Amino acid sequence: MAKFCFLLCSVLIFLAISSEARNAPSLATINDSPSNLNRTYTKVCDPQRFSDLGLDMNDFAYCDSSLSYDVRVKDLIDRMTLTEKVQQIGDKAYGVPRIGLAKYEWWSEALHGVSDVGQWNSKASFFDDVVPAATSFPCPITTTAAFNQSLWKSIGQAVSTEARAMYNLGHAGLTFWSPNINVVRDPRWGRALETPGEDPFTVGTYAANYVRGLQDIEGIENTADPNSRPLKVAACCKHYAAYDVDNWLGVDRTHFDARVTEQDMLETFVKPFEMCVKDGDVTSVMCSYNRINGIPACADPKLLRDTIRGEWDLHGYIVSDCDSVQVMIDNHKWLSDEPEDAVSQALKAGLDLDCGNYYTNYADKAVVQGKVKEKEIDESLKNLYFVLMRLGFFDGSPKFESLGKEDVCSDEHIELATQAAREGMVLLKNFNGTLPLNTDEIKTIAVVGPHANATNAMIGNYAGVPCKYVSPLDGLSTYAEVQYAMGCVNVMCKNSSLVFPAMQAAKNADATIIVAGIDLSVEAESLDRVDLLLPGYQTELINQVAAVSKGPVIVVIMSAGGVDISFARDNGNVKAILWAGFPGEEGGQAIADVLFGKYNPGGRLPLTWHESSYVDMLPMTSMPLRPVDSLGYPGRTYKFFNGSTVYPFGYGLSYTTFDYSLTSAERSLNIQLNKFQHCRDLNYTDGSFKPPCPAILTEDLQCDDNNLEFEVEVSNTGTVDGSEVVMLYWTPPKGIVESPIKQLIGFQKVFVPAGGSQKVKFQLNACKSLGIVNYRGYHLLPSGGHSIVIGDNLLSFPVGINFEQVN
């Protein structure tokens, strides 16, 4: 009876507090003061705000800025009842008015600009007459193609400036669940547009730079105590881990069990997240819907508590993908759990915040039932409130208080979006120097195709409201007289009724530009592709228009994932091909600037463009990266696939030509071993040379002392100024079983004027750049003859790793 009374009282208190908390105003958007005062605030710890609530701020130590965050956060948590605590660990934190704690909406998005994606009934970030739009940069797959780390960081800085301005205006939160850093393992994945591509090193490098752009405050990028480092906004790297199946032939992400080896987990699926946490110092990681080897990602203590928080030392919080705790029960049928079971397992695993309502509705009951300690909830709250303290949610951020409407959609940001789109363009074909088009010769152009007048398609998903649109038609109209013919009603191009008018337009124009491709109706979240072809009659459109065109035909492809356009590549009537990705709000201007030579393209493909037959070789649900010989499955990504492609990873042309020369290089590294450093065996193919000491555990080496330096001179041997991406690959010693074919280990983008040259220096850490992960899950540095390869074998040189035992 006593327990029944306790439970009944808990429910009544919960209902009372929930009602009070749900009606408690949040900061900036609704005032906390009585209705007759009409005051708003941008920080919790404002004396007037407390006075309006009938409270004295001096009574609350958590508002004493002279105290450490540790003391303040503990004071705040200790003041709450259990029922009040659980109301703060969902994405909608309801606040506690009796102690002056405002509510907070945790969910905002900033994948490539501030977005209005969020809870449908209570969005943290939104647009209206006060803030009608925000700059929509190119989708990450396009920006990544620039291979420009400073650009990635600059975009993050611009996005966070707009986010802060919108926060000041009550139109955004401070915590943004971006970027998406899942590796594109399979070309059919629908979310490729959101990601930085298929290479783990590139993905991790993008993540660290974009996150630094979002989070860092100039001058205080590093502090003695990372948990007190001030933040501009808080980023989140998602979706951890082994997530890249959304909805393929009836297999969806909320039911899928990714069967993954430890080798693939370490070198591919979690590597970008490790880089995001260690190099980017991100403040949040989001776990994914799927199971990994039978265990839901959001309930796996090894993945969350032991790895993210323990091994990598996350300075922040771990959040679930939305409703993942509920998915554990309803979809995965995990351990036949009741809600309280799933909540307790997630909390114990290290999940701090539930995007959903299961923590809010069931965490207190799980404590009462003895399934989880209240201390686990306290730990989650501590991780959450440390981040809000660092963001100035409690004390304000004077550095950003002046930001306002004029800082959103500024000319500077719009130009940055245009430049990002230009840099992300990849020139795939340019027969006989057809491009750039010459305005003295090209007076009229036919612009045809389903994307010729694209607007919304250019900004992809997780997009808000752009400042404006410049379609390809708009952009090209600034260079020549345009005759527009759709060719297809949309990308599905279900009939050929509009092909003939497009042909007629091409017959009379000095040049024809066909803007084709796919969009969110083909590849998107919750929508994986089933083939790699252009939909419907698009192929017919391109071939027939090219056959009759008076002038040169240029095909522009908008897509995220690769498309088998080998027919256009091999068609002599198609003189040039440009991949534009999803280029953002200024995409049309960027396309025109590249085609007419205002900007010399220098982008590189961040994905392998496979032939259409690739999807017939293996199911999307087969997770191994390496070939599965027993089933006849090929390898995945450029690292393990050695078949023919439409275009390989890293491919991209320029309007000029570049030569490389090696000016200096360290070609060997001799490492002395002590008696505590033991040789490790490796598997070699039959007939291969096996060194006396095949490998050493990298954790047994002084890796910071084992660096290699070299310098490359890049010469522009053409007549056009241009930027070149110097891509650095490593190939392992011959004969090591299951090692990658090659692996990207570094890249730099350098501008070189026509006839000029530029020297580029690289410094490599041997353990990180020349190491492997074997099938047992060990990180090893192999001995023997490694090779450093620049570009597509434009330049290479050997590097020998030798181990010497010293007694």
Helices (H), 556-632: 566-569, 587-595
Task: Print the SS3 string covering 42-73.
Answer: CCCCCHHHHHHCCCCHHHCHHHCCCCCHHHHH
Nearest to 146 by CA among 211, 206, 207, 189: 206
Q: What are phi and psi of 66, to 5 degrees?
A: -80, -15
In the beta sheet, which residues pair with residue 125?
none
360 and 90 Cβ atoms separated by less than 8 Å: yes
Residue 699 structure tokens: 């954790």
CA 747 to chain centre: 18
Nearest to 554 by CA among 684, 452, 629, 454: 452
Residue recorded with tokens 């990298």: 698
Nearest to 720 by CA among 773, 655, 785, 674: 655
Quote the CA–CA distance of 220 and 541 in Å, as a whole number: 55
Exposed/middle/buried for 476, CB within 10 Å: 0-12, 13-18, 19+?
A: buried
Quote the CA–CA distance of 380 and 351 in Å, as a whole number: 7
Backbone dihedral region of 432: left (phi > 0), alpha (psi from -120 to 50 degrees) or beta? left
Q: Which helix (H) or strand (E) holds 427?
A: strand 426-430
Which of 186, 216, 321, 519 is the catalytic position? 321
- How many Cα atoms sit within 13 Å of 291 on the Cβ side? 16
Backbone dihedral region of 392: left (phi > 0), alpha (psi from -120 to 50 degrees) or beta? left
Quote the CA–CA distance of 738 and 626 in Å, as a whole number: 7
Residue 673 structure tokens: 């071993």
Residues in the chain: 807
**Which letter does DSSP use for residue 702 in this model?**
-
In the beta sheet, which residues pair with residue 103?
26
The DSSP secondary structure of 484-510, one letter per residue, reads: EE-SSSSTT----TTHHHHHHHHHTSS
372 and 359 Cβ atoms separated by less than 8 Å: no
Exposed/middle/buried for 509, CB within 10 Å: 0-12, 13-18, 19+?
A: buried
Quote the CA–CA distance of 649 and 748 in Å, as a whole number: 16
Residue 162 structure tokens: 């707009």
Backbone dihedral region of 276: left (phi > 0), alpha (psi from -120 to 50 degrees) or beta? alpha
- Annotated active-site residue 321? The verdict is yes
Quote the CA–CA distance of 782 and 779 in Å, as a whole number: 10
Quote the CA–CA distance of 372 and 337 in Å, as a whole number: 14
Quote the CA–CA distance of 799 and 310 in Å, as a whole number: 35
Quote the CA–CA distance of 167 and 124 in Å, as a whole number: 9
Nearest to 193 by CA among 513, 756, 607: 607
296 and 304 Cβ atoms separated by less than 8 Å: no
Catalytic sites, residue numbers = 321
